[in-house]
Amino acid sequence: MSFPENQWELVRDYKIYFRDRKNPHPWAAYILPENVKIGERLYIDDIIEDILMEKFWNSKYAASDSECVWNGSDIEIDMSLYDRVFLIG
């Protein structure tokens, strides 16, 4: 199945990524359970977004997984999880 470009909706445009991606394709999507309820908390094993967790000198460390809440039309990533991240060593 294909859709003409005028039917696409750009959600977020990235030019620079904090982390290397395993998948070389320039698109991604989350698949939710069929019976997910509004307000339900979900675990995301491989997040699409590049969320910068920590910077140390010239190194940047990105989140690889996350938790989110389904609001009925979109997922809301729990960014408060990354407020507690710090590196030692």
In the prediction, which pLDDT does 54 show? 79
Identity of the amino acid at 51: I
Structure tokens at 39: 């307000």
3-class SS of residue 67: strand
- Spatial distance between the Cα atoms of 46 and 20, rounded to a whole number of angstroms: 12
What's the pLDDT band for 13 if we cut at 50, 70, 90? low
N residues, the chain: 89
Residue 83, pLDDT > 90, answer no
| CB half-sphere exposure, 74, CA atoms < 13 A | 4
- Closest to 58 in 3D by CA, of 24, 18, 12: 18
pLDDT tens for each residue of 22-77: 666 667 788 888 899 999 999 999 888 878 787 778 777 788 888 999 999 999 99
